[in-house]
Amino acid sequence: MVLKRRRARAGARARRTAEHTVTWADGRLPVSEGGVLLRKAFPEHWSFLLGEIALYSFVVLLLTGVWLTLFFHPSMTDVVYDGSYQPLVGVTMSEAYRSTVDISFDVRGGLLIRQVHHWAALVFLSAIGVHLLRVFFTGAFRRPREVNWMIGVTLFLLALAEGFAGYSLPDDLLSGTGLRIAQGIMLSIPVVGTYVSMFVFGGQYPGHDLVPRLYSLHILLIPGLLLALVTVHLILVFYLKHTQWAGRGRTRHNVVGKPLFPQFAAGSTGLFFMVFGVLTVIAALAQINPIWVYGPYRPDTVSAGSQPDWYVGFLEGALRLMPPFETSLAGHTLMWNVLVPAVLLPGALFTVLYAYPFFERWVTGDRQEHHLCDRPRDVPVRTGLGVAAICFYAVLTAAGGNDILARTFDLSLNLLTWVFRVCLVVLPPLALMVTKRVCLALQEHERERLEHGEETGELRQTLTGGYVEDSTPLEAEERHVLRSRREPLPLAPAAAAGEESPRVGRLRATLSEWYHGDRVDVGESADPAAAPGDAAPDDVPAAGPER
């Protein structure tokens, strides 16, 4: 009896202590808000893992990068190699190249860490790219997430710069060839090109300051910017709510999924270790960037069959496809075959990426908040534009290896170059038209399924002697998803004009008609098997533009 009273008093003291501790901490720290935050819901769908893969690849990059900085010497001072790799003994090289070779052959586990770092960089950029495509095709860039879309595009741009800087640090023959191309791109900029090159390289090419400068960018400035933007990106994801796919019980006012703690945290932690493990296995089995095979960089030597990493392959292809045009103007020579593909094209690409959310909002007049993802088939023009852009990028990337393809398949290099030029002009608009038709066909098929149900493949004979095929109603979840699709109507010319000039208003109305003119409407009463009370929820956006 006495023992029970002692236990009760001890329990009461522990509760009072806990209450006082929480009260004290809550007055100084966001404890209560943190408890609510731990219950934040995250929807379950495989496409939402793409952003997490990008994040965890970045974490692997940071971990392996910190380790590599302990052994890398960012200096272009010439030394004579006397290490353990016999084919290079007695060869003059920079300290940067020498330290990279030492990491690969003389530091325990160095080659594995180097390759994990390189593979993680490729996966990081790939995951960001595919994640941006997911956001684009599902319309997750619309209000209120325009700023987060712009942050994502900036992250992709910074990741490109970070990858190129890290790729160039070893000062081997392959990376040196890429730097030589980069210097030619700088020189193609009118008027200021020579000054830009002198500033970057610290004098005449190749100079002695480039590797130390790239090293500072690679380990300090760009990673700091990436960390800051990733943090802001995640804060906005928490603040604006996570997008989710349409479904029963899912509206623009809620999020249905796993709570942050413990379910989502446990699964996400497991995904991190899976990403780290897969990258380690790939690095152990698949060789990448064997700089000892290429040798140290020499300005008078170019390695045959030089190919950059995939993320800058489109620039290589654009340079190879551009015809040789130049113009002399006021004593300056404009090299269009370098300026257009390597400066103007990337600038136009990222300008379009930054501006697209605002362009679509202007064309459609849709200023509502959107928290439910679009299915790509439900917005045929946007999906077609995305597929056209992918085709454009794929043609340029393939053209970056036209010499390898010509030699491998015994083809004429000139003929292959012209084939790529024609494909670059023809394939994107063709892909747009085909994708749009396919999306509309899928919508028509879904309307038929709503009206007639799912075909069972069984026939029955009617009283009149004919045969009809049996069908079963769609499941309630699928019926809800199909019936929740509502597209905006094209803007009327009068509504499109608004306060704009007549010409701009007509242009806007024309684009709006092109964007939403072709449509397959799904009526509210199209489903005869709909259960009572199964109408599309009012919380689903009506998707009509604000007039």
Could you read off the pLDDT of 64-104 as tens digits, one per residue? 999 999 999 999 999 999 999 999 999 999 999 999 999 99
Question: Is pLDDT of 28 > 80?
Answer: no
224 versus 207: the higher-pLDDT residue is: 224
Mean pLDDT of the chain: 86
Mean predicted confidence (pLDDT) in 123-151: 95
Residue 533 confidence class, pLDDT cut points 50, 70, 90: very low
Give the Cα separation of 424 and 399 in Å (integer): 10
- Residue 340: the pLDDT is 92
Under the banding of pLDDT at 50, 70 and 90, the label for residue 454 is: confident
Residue 155: is it exposed, middle or buried by C-beta count within 10 angstroms (0-12/13-18/19+)? buried
For residue 376, pLDDT over 90 is answered with: yes
Please name the residue ranges forming H helices in 400-455: 402-408, 413-452
Q: Which two tokens stand for residue 356?
A: 């697209």
Burial class (CB in 10 A: 0-12, 13-18, 19+), 546: exposed
Whether residue 527 is predicted with pLDDT greater than 80 in this model: the reply is: no
Question: Per residue in 476-487, pLDDT tens?
Answer: 888 888 887 777
CA atoms within 13 Å, Cβ hemisphere of 520: 21
- Per-residue model confidence (pLDDT) at position 382: 95
For residues 469 and 428, give the distance between their C-alpha atoms in angstroms, rounded to a whole number.
41
Minimum mean pLDDT among 70-74, 264-268, 529-533: which range?
529-533
Q: Average pLDDT in the 16-21 region?
A: 76
Phi and psi at 365, nearest 5°, equal 70, 15
Decide if 248 contacts 476 (C-beta within 8 A).
yes
Report, as an integer, the average pLDDT of 292-296.
Answer: 92
pLDDT attached to residue 465: 76
Alpha carbons 361 and 366: distance in angstroms, whole number: 5
Average pLDDT over residues 419-439: 96
Look at residue 528 in the predicted model and tell me its pLDDT: 38
pLDDT of residue 506: 83
The per-residue pLDDT for 270 is 95
Band of pLDDT at residue 33, cut at 50, 70 and 90:
low
Please report, to the nearest 10 degrees, the dihedral formed by the alpha carbons of residues 445, 449, 454, 455 taken in order.
-60
Q: Are 336 and 322 in contact (CB under 8 A)?
A: yes
How many Cα atoms sit within 13 Å of 435 on the Cβ side? 23
User: What value does the mean pLDDT take over residues 157-162?
Assistant: 95
Alpha carbon 412 to its chain's center: 35
308 confidence band (pLDDT: 50, 70, 90): confident
**Amino acid (one-letter) located at 134:** R
List the one residue out of 514, 511, 516, 517 whose CA is nearest residue 496. Answer: 511
Tally Cβ neighbours within 10 Å of residue 251: 19
Given pLDDT bands bounded at 50, 70 and 90, which one contains residue 410? Answer: very high
- Predicted confidence band at 331 (pLDDT cuts at 50, 70, 90)? confident
CA–CA separation, 403 and 411 (whole Å): 9
Whether 25 has a pLDDT exceeding 90, the answer reads: no
C-alpha to C-alpha distance for 106 and 383, rounded to whole angstroms: 51
**From its phi and psi, is residue 162 left (phi > 0), alpha (psi between -120 and 50) or beta?**
alpha
The label of the residue with tokens 């990448």 reads 288
Selected residue with higher pLDDT from 524 and 308:
308
Nearest CA to 402 out of 390, 391, 413, 388 is that of 413
Tokens of 211: 């590797």
Would you say residue 36 has pLDDT above 70? Answer: no
